[in-house]
Chains A and B, each alone.
Chain A
Amino acid sequence: QQQVKQSPQSLIVQKGGISIINCAYENTAFDYFPWYQQFPGKGPALLIAIRPDVSEKKEGRFTISFNKSAKQFSLHIMDSQPGDSATYFCAASWRGRGAQKLVFGQGTRLTINP
């Protein structure tokens, strides 16, 4: 299955709180898992990415947790700020017939209340 399921669809968090977005996949051919942040009127911007042989990756306030056996991964945003308000997409990359293909989740609209 070439799907990535993302939840929740929308999320409201208070300033300073932790935002958590979850994703799940079926296809074991996926071997790279990036997260993108998209502001209105802009293209998706690469935030952080992880390979399946790593269980956790942290960059500043952003952390990816990866559970290979459960085929699940999640994004944690620590000390969430109003500037983090955006739509977040998880994605999974695979090489199909010579092409690098990204399969995206449906997106999570994150709102950080001041």
Chain B
Amino acid sequence: DAGVTQSPTHLIKTRGQHVTLRCSPISGHKSVSWYQQVLGQGPQFIFQYYEKEERGRGNFPDRFSARQFPNYSSELNVNALLLGDSALYLCASSPTTDTNSPLHFGNGTRLTVT
């Protein structure tokens, strides 16, 4: 069975540009969450989507947005990139939004902002 897939794997952008990251969840999983992992730290919650609706948002500015499509895949968009946005962006899927519903992570997109 395919796990969570993310694209692209690596990306280099310039300050002020916009970026779109993509995620395909595990088949049958209806929830997609996005996390940001800065080098040397644990992942931080950005968004969770379930059945195409935003269920929650972490402490990130409005430059960050996301959406979920009818096939449950998802996009994360970041506008007006800052140097501090350089990080590994992780997508995770789960069957439901229950707290004990296991989150399965993809291998992430490494974003470098120069």
Total contacts A to B, CB within 8 angstroms?
79
In whole angstroms, what is the CA distance A34 to B98 when docked? 14
Which parts of A31-90 form the interface with B (CB within 8 Å)?
31-32, 34, 36, 41-46, 49, 51, 89
What residue of chain A has the Cβ atom nearest to residue B45's Cβ? A101
User: With a CB–CB cut-off of 8 A, which chain A residues contact B35?
Assistant: 102
Tell me whether B102 and A34 are in contact (CB under 8 A): yes
Tell me whether A98 and B100 are in contact (CB under 8 A): no
User: With a CB–CB cut-off of 8 A, which chain B residues contact A34?
Assistant: 102-103
In whole angstroms, what is the CA distance A6 to B42 when docked? 10
Rounded to whole Å, the gap between the CB of A84 and the closest CB of chain B is 19
Sort chain B's interface into a size bin.
20 to 34
Tell me whether B44 and A100 are in contact (CB under 8 A): no
In whole angstroms, what is the CA distance A43 to B88 when docked? 9
Residues of B within 8 A of A (CB): 4, 31, 33, 35, 40-45, 48, 55-58, 90, 92, 94, 96-108
In whole angstroms, what is the CA distance A42 to B98 when docked? 25
Tell me whether B99 and A44 are in contact (CB under 8 A): no
Rounded to whole Å, the gap between the CB of A38 and the closest CB of chain B is 9
Q: Is A96 an interface residue (CB 8 A)?
A: yes
Tell me whether A89 and B42 are in contact (CB under 8 A): yes
Contact of A93 among B40, B55, B100 (CB under 8 A): B100
Which parts of A1-44 form the interface with B (CB within 8 Å)?
4, 6, 31-32, 34, 36, 41-44
Contact of A46 among B45, B56, B103 (CB under 8 A): B103
Contact of A44 among B45, B55, B58, B90 (CB under 8 A): B90
Which residue of B41, B96, B99 has the most chain A CB atoms within 10 A of its CB atom?
A: B99
User: With a CB–CB cut-off of 8 A, which chain A residues contact B33?
Assistant: 100, 102
